[in-house]
Amino acid sequence: MTRNDSRLGIVFMIATTLVFAAQDGLSRHLAGEYNVLMIVMIRYWFFAAFVIAVAVRKSGSLRAAARTTQPVLQASRGLLLAAEICVMVLAFVLIGLVESHAMFACYPLLIAALSGPVLGEKVGWRRWAAIGMGFVGVLIILQPGVGVFSPYSLVALLSATMFALYGLLTRFAARKDTVATSFFWTGTVGAILMTVIGIWFWEPMTGPDWALMAVLCVTGASGHWLLIKTYEVAEASAVQPFAYLQLVFASLVGITVFNEVLEPNVAIGSAIVVGAGLFTLLRERKVKQAS
pLDDT at 102 > cutoff 50: yes
Mind spelling out the 3-state secondary structure of the chain?
Answer: CCCCCHHHHHHHHHHHHHHHHHHHHHHHHHHHHCCHHHHHHHHHHHHHHHHHHHHHHHHCCHHHHHCCCCHHHHHHHHHHHHHHHHHHHHHHHHHHHHHHHHHHCCHHHHHHHHHHHHHCCCCCHHHHHHHHHHHHHHHHHHCCCCCCCCCCHHHHHHHHHHHHHHHHHHHHHCCCCCHHHHHHHHHHHHHHHHHHHHHHHCCCCCHHHHHHHHHHHHHHHHHHHHHHHHHHHCCHHHHHHHHHHHHHHHHHHHHHHCCCCCCHHHHHHHHHHHHHHHHHHHHHHHHHHHC
What pLDDT is recorded for position 196?
96
What pLDDT is recorded for position 119?
62
Helix orientation angle between 107-119 and 153-173, rounded to the nearest 10 degrees: 40
Least Cα distance to 187 among 69, 288, 40 occurs for 40
What pLDDT is recorded for position 217?
93
Name every residue whose Cβ is closer than 8 Å to that of residue 64 and which is 6 or more positions away in sequence. 56
Q: How many CB atoms lie within 10 A of CB 62?
A: 13
What residue ranges do the domains of the chain occupy? 6-290
Cα distance between residue 223 and residue 217, in whole Å:
10
Cα distance between residue 116 and residue 97, in whole Å:
31
Cα distance between residue 269 and residue 142, in whole Å:
9
Q: Could you report the per-residue pLDDT of 59-69, keeping only the tens digit for each?
A: 888 888 889 99
End-to-end CA distance of the chain: 27
What pLDDT is recorded for position 1?
45
Q: Could you report the per-residue pLDDT of 189-218, keeping only the tens digit for each?
A: 999 999 999 999 999 999 999 999 999 999
What pLDDT is recorded for position 26?
96
Q: Could you report the per-residue pLDDT of 109-163, keeping only the tens digit for each?
A: 888 777 766 666 676 767 778 778 877 877 777 765 544 456 788 899 899 999 9
Cα distance between residue 125 and residue 252, in whole Å:
35
Average pLDDT of the residues in 241-265: 87
In this structure, the chain runs to a length of 291
pLDDT band of residue 291 (cuts 50, 70, 90) is low
